[in-house]
Homo-oligomer: A and B are copies of this chain.
Amino acid sequence: MALQSDPIDGFYVVIPAGGIGSRLWPLSRADAPKFLHDLTGSGSSLLRDTWDRMAPLAGEQRVMVVTGRAHRAAVEEQLPLLADANVVLESEPRESSAAIGLAAAILERREPGVVIGSFAADHVIKGARFFRQSVTEAVAAARAGYIATIGIRPTEPAVGFGYICAPQPVAIDGAPTAHIVQSFVEKPDLATAESYVTSGDYMWNAGMFISKASVLLEALGKTQPELLAGINELADAWDTPRRGVVVDKVWPRLVKIAIDYSVAEPAAAAGKLVVIPGEFDWDDVGDFASIAKLHSTGYKNDLAILGADARVLADASSGIVVSEGGRTIAVIGVKDIVIVDTPDALLVTTIANAQKVKSVVDALRLAGRDDVL
């Protein structure tokens, strides 16, 4: 009998480590993306936390990371046990369908029939036992031929997340809590989000997808046949001396599309997608409001302070201060403030405006200020 701490048989983890996290500028940058930061105060990066969470579920030799060439050194430093063969480098960002699809195609060739699960490198999860239980059910559903996702039971009417509508349970061996996904819905307004929470039929979309590699690739081929052809060409060459040549030729031409659109939504429409309701705490730490909440002690007028060398002098203030650079920071009488202090850029906004930070990044890009992006 398998122990609770044993790896799940025949399971492989794929971690796409790509997104910069524009809403976390100026902390997250092209050369220091969100997944390389410690945003939880755990003492390690989100990527390392993800490894520590996932490696026991699949085994240390069965975790693949897909990341940009520029991040190779940082990723390998963070994950010393990551196998060389399991580092998939993107010559340029091509979105999640290409990243996860290529990982699936490589792994299917190495181990036909393998079940893979893709998990973001920059999310926060608390509750290891419940998480393992959800992944175990999702793998069982994948073995039964489904594409499975793990949804999060909403604890509040969040407007920053997409939702999964899944009112109907479905009978799958080893996945007793699985529900058929009826549809994915985009970030709602507050009233809609409230109705979702009340109804009980909706879960947060945490972007976790678990399926046989072959099933994922088949689904991808139905909506994106050219993308699949490119991925197969890459995978055929991957573990051969031709890899470099084929990558240079094929990778830059792959269509950029999120796997939500190429695989998940069409599979849901075809009744092939199930969701396992996750009973653990999850957050995508998508903006500074989310980070402030993570660090809240629950007190009103609380000021969260991040940064190993933070020197913050605060009076009658609340919100969050992120200090990277060791400067003395004095904060007086500002409520729900967001202050992010880095050596070359400073952000001052409010919790309520946290989602607007992306617009700053867009404006800086338009202005040619790539030096601070």
Q: B-facing mask of A170-193, CB < 8 A → 1, else 0?
A: 000000000000000000000000
Which of B315, B333, B349, B372 contacts A334 (CB under 8 A)?
B349
Which of B313, B327, B333, B353 contacts A350 (CB under 8 A)?
B333
Which residues on the B side are within 8 Å of A341 (C-beta)?
A: 346
B345–A333 touching, CB < 8 Å: no
| A110 at interface by CB-CB < 8 Å | no
| A107 at interface by CB-CB < 8 Å | no
Q: A315-B359, A359-B315 are in contact. Are A364 and B333 (CB under 8 A)?
A: no
Which residues on the B side are within 8 Å of A327 (C-beta)?
A: 343-346
Copies of this chain per assembly: 2
Q: A315-B356, A315-B359 are in contact. Are A348 and B331 (CB under 8 A)?
A: yes
| A347 at interface by CB-CB < 8 Å | yes
Q: A26-B330, A334-B350, A353-B332 are in contact. Are A313 and B360 (CB under 8 A)?
A: yes
| A369 at interface by CB-CB < 8 Å | yes
Which residues on the B side are within 8 Å of A337 (C-beta)?
A: 334, 348
Nearest B-chain residue to A323, judged by Cβ: B346
Which residues on the B side are within 8 Å of A343 (C-beta)?
A: 327
| Bound-state Cα–Cα, A353 to B333, Å | 6
Which residues on the B side are within 8 Å of A328 (C-beta)?
A: 26, 344-346, 364, 369, 372
| A352 at interface by CB-CB < 8 Å | yes
| Bound-state Cα–Cα, A356 to B313, Å | 13
Which residues on the B side are within 8 Å of A359 (C-beta)?
A: 315, 332
B315–A333 touching, CB < 8 Å: no
Nearest B-chain residue to A346, judged by Cβ: B329
| A254 at interface by CB-CB < 8 Å | no
Which residues on the B side are within 8 Å of A344 (C-beta)?
A: 327-328
Q: A313-B363, A313-B364, A359-B315 are in contact. Are A330 and B353 (CB under 8 A)?
A: no
Which of B26, B331, B347, B352 contacts A349 (CB under 8 A)?
B331
| A339 at interface by CB-CB < 8 Å | yes
Which residues on the B side are within 8 Å of A339 (C-beta)?
A: 346, 348
CB distance from A23 to the nearest CB of B (A): 11
Q: B-facing mask of A305-335, CB < 8 A → 1, else 0?
A: 0000000010110000000000111111110
A360–B332 touching, CB < 8 Å: yes
Which A residues are within 8 Å of any B CB, using their own CB? 25-26, 313, 315-316, 327-334, 337, 339, 341, 343-350, 352-353, 356-357, 359-360, 363-364, 369, 372
Q: List 20 A-B contacts (CB under 8 A).
A: A25-B330, A26-B328, A313-B360, A315-B360, A327-B344, A328-B346, A328-B364, A328-B372, A329-B346, A330-B346, A330-B357, A331-B349, A332-B348, A332-B356, A332-B359, A334-B348, A334-B353, A339-B346, A341-B346, A348-B348
**Beyond A334-B334, A339-B348: 5 further Cβ-contacts under 8 Å?**
A26-B330, A313-B364, A330-B345, A333-B349, A339-B346
